[in-house]
Amino acid sequence: MNHPVSLVRLRHTAWMIVCCCALSLPAATALSGDCQAAKGDRVAPPESASHLVTVNDAAEAEPPVELSVGPADELRYPDDRPAWIDAGPELDGKVHRWPVSSPLSSTAELSRQALLVQLRAAAETYVETLFDSPEAPAVIPLEDHWIAERIADNGRYEGEVHSGDEVLYEAAAELRFTVEDRRWLQELWDAHRVGQRMVALGAMTAGGTALLLMATAGLSILARRSERRSRPHASEPA
């Protein structure tokens, strides 16, 4: 008699379970959707360090690009520029050499004019060095044509110098002084020294003459005074 009641209770319980499952299914579906959306909103992780190292290595591996124009402070000289321009003075041997160059100029004509000034300064410095006297250039006249004749035929140069994208100009020459040139300069220097000695000797002679005249005049005055003092005594009767 109890079986129909039990069966009814079992059916009622099963129905409640089915209803609960049906009610919980939309909530679970919505929760699953929210979780997936949250996963989609996450910030992507940064690139790995290994990837960055690979990019840097690739950048360093690229060959450097050659500049068509050099830096502004770099001077580029032509290949045919003579080596003697940068050499110092050579005062050994029979022929003395003194290279001279102009400062870099904006035009070729300005470099030539600057070279003429530098040549005179170099020739006067050579004379001063030769006689070891700062007054030598003042007492030995050096004409412009004489300085120009000291330049050898193969001792001239004119060329361009590039500084960045700017073109400058340079002029140079090499002075050469032979044994004959030094002998001629020596004669002028010796004549000056002799003239100095003659002037000094003349000054000494003039000074000695003046002293002698003064001494002679002084002795004459003393002699006259002595003579005047002795005259009254000589006129008294014996």
Encode pLDDT of 145-175 as tens digits.
Answer: 999 999 988 999 999 999 999 999 999 999 9
Is 67 among the domain residues?
Answer: no
Q: How far apart are CA 89 and CA 127, in angstroms?
A: 13
Identify the residue whose tokens are 């939309």. 26
Quote the number of domains for the chain. 1
Where does the pLDDT of residue 37 fall: very low under 50, low under 70, confident under 90, or very high at 90 and above?
A: very low
Look at residue 237 and tell me whether its pLDDT is greater than 60.
no
Identify the residue whose tokens are 């299914």. 25
Is 114 among the domain residues?
Answer: yes
- pLDDT at residue 196 in the model: 79
Look at residue 2 and tell me whether its pLDDT is greater than 50.
no
Paired tokens of 167:
């073109």
Question: What is the pTM (predicted TM-score) of this model?
Answer: 0.56
Q: pLDDT digit string (tens) for 69-90?
A: 455 568 999 999 999 999 999 9
Is 156 among the domain residues?
Answer: yes
Q: pLDDT digit string (tens) for 100-149?
A: 999 999 999 999 999 999 999 999 999 999 999 999 999 998 999 999 99
More confident residue, 134 or 205: 134
Q: How far apart are CA 144 and CA 98, in angstroms?
A: 16
Is 151 among the domain residues?
Answer: yes
Q: What is the dihedral of CA 46, 48, 53, 55, to 10 degrees?
A: -60
Question: Which backbone phi and psi does 161 adopt, to 5 degrees?
Answer: -130, 130
Q: pLDDT digit string (tens) for 42-71?
A: 545 555 444 444 545 545 556 554 544 455
Is 219 among the domain residues?
Answer: no
Is 225 among the domain residues?
Answer: no
* CA 156 distance to own-chain centroid: 24
Q: What b-and-e string marks burial along 214-230, b requiring 16 or more CB atoms within 10 Å of the CB?
A: eeeeeeeeeeeeeeeee
More confident residue, 164 or 13: 164
Is 191 among the domain residues?
Answer: no
Report whether 147 contacts 119 (CB < 8 A): yes
**Going edge to edge, which strands form the sheet with 96-101?**
75-76, 151-163, 166-177, 96-101
Paired tokens of 181:
């040139």
What is the average pLDDT across 216-234? 70
More confident residue, 202 or 124: 124
**Coil, strand or helix at 57:** helix
Is 79 among the domain residues?
Answer: yes
Average pLDDT, the chain: 77
- pLDDT at residue 217 in the model: 72
**Coil, strand or helix at 91:** coil
Domain that holds residue 136: 75-178
